[in-house]
Amino acid sequence: MHWLSLSRVLKTENQDLVEAVKLADAAKHELEERRQYSTENFNKIVVTVEDICKKYNIPVTKPRLVSRQTNRSNIITDSVADYYKIIIYIPYHDLFITHLQDRFLKHRNILSNFSCLFPIETKSLDKVACKTLFETYSSILHDDSPEIWISEIEIWRRRLVGKNIRNALDALDICNADAFPNVHKMLRVMSVLPVTTTTNERSFSTLRRLKTYLRSTMGEDRLNGLASLNIHRDINVDINQALNQFFSVPRRVNLLKK
């Protein structure tokens, strides 16, 4: 499974778009090669399938063909292997390659502009990419001059010489927001570029844990608070501060009564 590494990356919490695009590109090239040599690769699968079917006395046949077919493909061929290769194997690879292209590899244009922030990706500064990146995010940058933006990047790139920077998060850790305000902003944007919705979907199951009688009688603020506590368990909550806030709200019930 050549796309297993890509699948594992997409399920992690700290996803990186650059790494995902690289793995998607590698998976795409592998699928294109398997698609190019589809006959040789599919024959290996056929041998395995025939051995399994022979073991359990299952005949390897193809569906009957009719003169007029509207619900599925109607390929006329004498070979069972060729039939399934044309009906299943080749369309599967074509569809997979198309989905990879649409979902991930279109992000190359965005990432190519961000590459000016890292001298590891490009040894010489691409000023065209810098200006394109500036024009795209000029509304959130601290300066409105492309010359200031480019000069800041040039100093930042010298700052990274000799540093082991693997991704935008590593660069963000050593980036001084006061010295490089625009670069710091761009690194923050690059760090949160969405790869998948896995992390968001993972939080949906939290509401199921709260689906009790108490859930049906609480307000929206309390529900959001309990859900946030369940999702962000890594955040330490000061119990004394929570109690002080709780006691500061006027209530009819005397909780301090012995």
103 and 161 in a single domain? The answer is: no
34 and 49 in a single domain? The answer is: yes
25 and 100 in a single domain? The answer is: yes
Indicate if the pLDDT at residue 183 is higher than 90: yes
Least confident of 1-5, 80-84, 200-204: 200-204
Least confident of 19-33, 93-107, 120-134: 120-134
- As given in the structure block, the two tokens for residue 62 are 């193809």
pLDDT, one tens digit per residue, over 139-179 is 999 888 899 999 999 999 998 888 888 778 889 999 999 99
Give CA–CA dist 102/28, Å, rounded: 11
Residue 9 within a domain: yes
Q: Give the pLDDT confidence score for residue 78 in this predicted structure.
A: 84
Residues 6 or more apart whose CB falls under 8 angstroms from that of 11 comprise 198
Q: Give the pLDDT confidence score for residue 213 in this predicted structure.
A: 58
85 and 21 in a single domain? The answer is: yes
Q: At what angle do helices 181-191 and 146-159 cross, to 10 degrees?
A: 80
DSSP state of 78: S
Q: Say which residue the tokens 């368990």 belong to.
A: 233
Give CA–CA dist 11/179, Å, rounded: 35
Q: Residue 42 belongs to what domain range?
A: 2-62+77-111
Indicate if the pLDDT at residue 223 is higher than 90: no
Backbone angles phi, psi at 56, to 5 degrees: -105, 15
DSSP state of 258: -
Backbone angles phi, psi at 119, to 5 degrees: -70, -15
Residue 210 within a domain: no
Please state the rounded mean pLDDT for residues 42-71: 87
**Do 156 and 133 meet the contact criterion of CB atoms below 8 Å apart?**
no
